Structure 1
Amino acid sequence: MTDPKALLTEPNLADPDAAYRLIVQAHRDLSEAESAAFNARLVLILANHLGDVEILRQALALAREAR
């Protein structure tokens, strides 16, 4: 059993290519500033969906490591 307070880092999308295409399509025809604002809104929406600050903290740390 996995720890419910641990960020899931194993592949978890049934169709990752479709997910990627959706993200790319959502950015189509947006300026760089509009794209950045879109990403910020999306992060907040998904963070709210997570509903767990500890998992969000882990996700943010992992994203920063990938720089």
Structure 2
Amino acid sequence: MTALRRTLNLARPDDIYNAIIDAHKGLSDEQCRDFDARLILLLVNHIGDEAAIREALKEAATT
């Protein structure tokens, strides 16, 4: 059984994508990496499901 949700789970995914892109505007490459790391850690903590997180790590590494 998979722990990672693979179906769309956002009402307005394009808006979220654009918000993420906008959050990077004006940042240097290093600032972007730092921002991404902080965002990932915040979201991982919010998810709180180790199996889903590990599955997402594997999926991201292969695609």
Q: TM-score scaled by structure 1?
A: 0.87
Q: How much has 1:52 moved relative to structure 2?
A: 1.3
Unaligned runs of 5+ in 2: none
Secondary structure of 1:56's match? helix
AA aligned opposite 1:12: N
Asked if 1:24 is matched to 2:21, the reply is yes
Identity among equivalent pairs (%): 43
In 1: Cα distance, 2:30 partner to 2:10 partner = 28
Structure 1 runs of 4+ aligned residues shifted over 4 Å read none
Quote the RMSD (CA, aligned, Å): 1.2
In 2: Cα distance, 1:65 partner to 1:45 partner = 23
Q: Which has the higher contact order (CA 8 A, sep 6+)?
A: 2
Q: TM-score scaled by structure 2?
A: 0.92
Unaligned runs of 5+ in 1: none
CA deviations 1:4-48 (Å, max 9, x no partner) are x61001111111110111000100100001001100110000000
Asked if 1:7 is matched to 2:19, the reply is no
